[in-house]
Chains A and B, each alone.
Chain A
């Protein structure tokens, strides 16, 4: 007992400074690494990679993100939609655009398609967008630094 008491007293002697320093450093690191940008990335989609897909700087004007999974469904605003039904959602986007005084062709449709998905489905999406008046497309790919 005598020994234990002695160790309790001496435990207050532990220098906490390095530990707290380290912890604050870690917190700062994680705070900086955390991105607040609403990058719409989805685990269901494996983008094809390309050396030329350099990350873009600056935000795009009125972006609409359509993500095509390899099963042939579109992830739009968090929900899964069939390719055939995307027209109704695009019509809504178009209405929103027109109400805010912009033409649909000012918007950019970001197509994040899975590398394993069928090209025909990507083309169907593009065609549906064209029918609604959207004409700017951005085909998104993962930036591949290697080679």
Chain B
């Protein structure tokens, strides 16, 4: 017991200051370099040259779904139209897409073969395009993502705009 007590008394002689200095430096370094990364995901779009695609004979039996997004004066969304008929909002667009292709998205299904062609005004804000892609490409059902149409392409860009 006597030995142990003397050991305890020795321990306080160790100078902790440099270690604590370094440790705090390390801590402040990691705190300062901390960058909060928000999770991001991708929508994959495969678009070969538009001219070549147009020239090639259409061996696909399913005609593409044309979604037209019109912009207002300030770039906000003015109207949505699917295959020429007006759609009130993106929820209705999704319902229409589901009624068109069904929910079967397995191989060789209608949903897999169907292609969506987005026709957007030049000045339309890009966030609306992402909302439209979200509406046609799937839905969240009970935390699970149900995929709908995966093939998405754009019409050739329009001239003009400011």
What residues make up the interface of A, taking CB atoms closer than 8 Å to B?
12-13, 16, 19-20, 23-24, 26-27, 30-31, 33-35, 39, 41, 47-56, 68, 105, 110, 113-120, 122-124, 126-127, 130-131, 135-143, 147
Contacts and interface: CB of A to CB of B under 8 A. Distances in A.
A77 B74 CA distance: 31
Contacts of A137: 44-47
Contacts of B40: 41, 47, 53, 55, 140-143
A127 B157 contact: yes
Given A34-B30, A52-B137, A139 B43 contact: yes
A49 to B, nearest CB: 8
B120 A56 contact: no
Contacts of B161: 118, 120
The dominant DSSP class at the B interface is mixed
Contacts of A48: 126-127, 129-131
Interface of B: 12, 16, 19-20, 23-24, 26-27, 30-31, 33-35, 37-50, 69, 71, 75, 120-131, 133-134, 137-138, 140, 145, 154, 156-158, 161
Nearest to A13: B12
Given A137-B45, A142-B39, A117 B130 contact: no
A143 B38 CA distance: 8
23 contacts: A30-B34, A48-B130, A50-B130, A52-B41, A52-B145, A53-B40, A53-B43, A54-B41, A55-B39, A55-B40, A116-B125, A118-B161, A119-B121, A119-B123, A120-B123, A122-B129, A123-B120, A126-B47, A130-B48, A136-B44, A137-B47, A138-B45, A142-B40
Contacts of B123: 118-120
A147 B75 CA distance: 25
Contact of A116 (B127, B154, B158): B127
B129 A31 contact: no
